[in-house]
């Protein structure tokens, strides 16, 4: 959480699509995938009247209440302080929230059609390429009919901000780089669209962020990427919003 305003802006950017949903539920249960170092979504969701589930691949978030003091309203603060220990995540139950840290296993444990709204911010690209389809299917499973999912995805490499990661052959990337903190699955925009549409999800918004020109020479790319159209390679990010049909 770079700042409370930053985390709030991210939350608001995504939750906007829940609020405008024709099946909007004022007591919605929302799911954030990959909250990172902060469970601030739990606080914002509670203020808005929502319950929430936050799922990550490990316990990366700050648990101390003092870390969230600048965003914790006083009427909530008095409630969570009644919890015996405020240095672990026990206080989240007071906000009708839970923080689960076992990745796909945590997601699989959620009941079918139990979530009204799902969002992630620069998370999907970090899921291993062999697991991403399974994640999307599980998100679809837990989403209620009429529910919405909103995902902001960063297609750039995470060590130079370009597409230098597309130089490397798949064999090297998935065997060696897969364990590095800057790993991304290198899926391009059409790959994500296919994953969502193959499940029958309906696209509500598809914002694509692109460079005007390729940031490197195309012939140097790994074979699977050198064949792609320039418009696909120039897309360095997107915001995709999909709905599950009734």
Model confidence over 117-136: pLDDT tens digits?
Answer: 999 999 999 999 999 999 99
What is the rounded average pLDDT of the residues 97-107? Answer: 97
CA distance linking residue 206 with residue 9, whole number of Å: 19
The confidence score (pLDDT) of residue 163 equals 95
What is the rounded average pLDDT of the residues 82-102? Answer: 84
What is the rounded average pLDDT of the residues 182-196? Answer: 97
Query: Is the pLDDT assigned to residue 67 strictly greater than 90?
Result: no
Task: Name which of 31-45, 80-94, 126-140, 210-224 the model is least confident about.
Answer: 80-94
Three-state SS string across the chain, please? CCCHHHHHHHHHHHHHHHHCCCCCCCCCEEEEECCCCCCHHHHHHHHCCCEEEEECCCCCCCCCHHHHCCCCCHHHHHHHCCCCCCCCHHHHHHHCEEEECCHHHHHHCCCCCCEEEEEEECCHHHCCCCCHHHHHHHHHHHEEEEEEEEEEEECCCCCCCCCHHHHCCHHHHHHCHHHCCCCCCCCCHHHHHHHHHCCCCEEEEEEEEECCCCCCCHHHCCHHHHCCCHHHHHEEEEEEEEECCC
Q: Has this prediction a pTM greater than 0.75?
A: yes
Predicted confidence band at 219 (pLDDT cuts at 50, 70, 90)?
Answer: confident
What is the rounded average pLDDT of the residues 175-194? Answer: 94
The confidence score (pLDDT) of residue 142 equals 98
The confidence score (pLDDT) of residue 86 equals 61
What is the rounded average pLDDT of the residues 191-204? Answer: 98
Domain boundaries, the chain: 1-121, 155-246
State phi, psi for 42 to the nearest 5 degrees. Answer: -60, -40
CA distance linking residue 34 with residue 55, whole number of Å: 6
Q: What is the pLDDT of residues 3-37, one digit of tens each?
A: 788 999 999 999 999 999 999 999 999 999 999 99
The confidence score (pLDDT) of residue 75 equals 79
């Amino acid at each position: 959480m770079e700042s409370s305003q930053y985390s709030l802006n991210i939350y608001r950017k995504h939750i906007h699509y829940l609020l405008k949903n024709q099946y909007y539920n004022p007591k919605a249960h929302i799911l954030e995938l990959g909250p990172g170092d902060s469970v601030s979504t739990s606080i914002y969701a509670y203020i808005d009247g929502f319950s929430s589930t936050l799922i990550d691949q490990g316990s990366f978030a700050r648990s101390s209440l003092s870390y969230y003091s600048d965003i914790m309203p006083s009427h909530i603060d008095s409630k969570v302080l009644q919890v015996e220990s405020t240095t672990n995540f026990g206080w989240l139950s007071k906000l009708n929230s839970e923080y689960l840290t076992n990745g796909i296993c945590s997601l699989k444990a959620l009941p079918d059609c139990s979530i009204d709204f799902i969002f992630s911010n620069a998370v999907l690209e970090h899921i291993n390429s062999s697991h991403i389809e399974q994640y999307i299917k599980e998100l679809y499973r837990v989403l209620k009919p009429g529910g919405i999912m909103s995902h902001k995805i960063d297609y750039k490499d995470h060590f130079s901000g370009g597409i230098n990661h597309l130089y490397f052959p798949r064999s090297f990337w998935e065997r060696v780089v897969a364990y590095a903190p800057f790993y991304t699955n290198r899926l391009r925009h059409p790959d994500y669209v296919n994953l969502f549409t193959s499940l029958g999800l309906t696209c509500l918004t598809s914002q694509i962020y692109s460079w005007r020109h390729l940031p490197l020479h195309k012939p140097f790319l790994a074979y699977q990427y050198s064949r792609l159209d320039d418009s696909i390679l120039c897309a360095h990010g997107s915001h995709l919003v999909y709905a599950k049909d009734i």
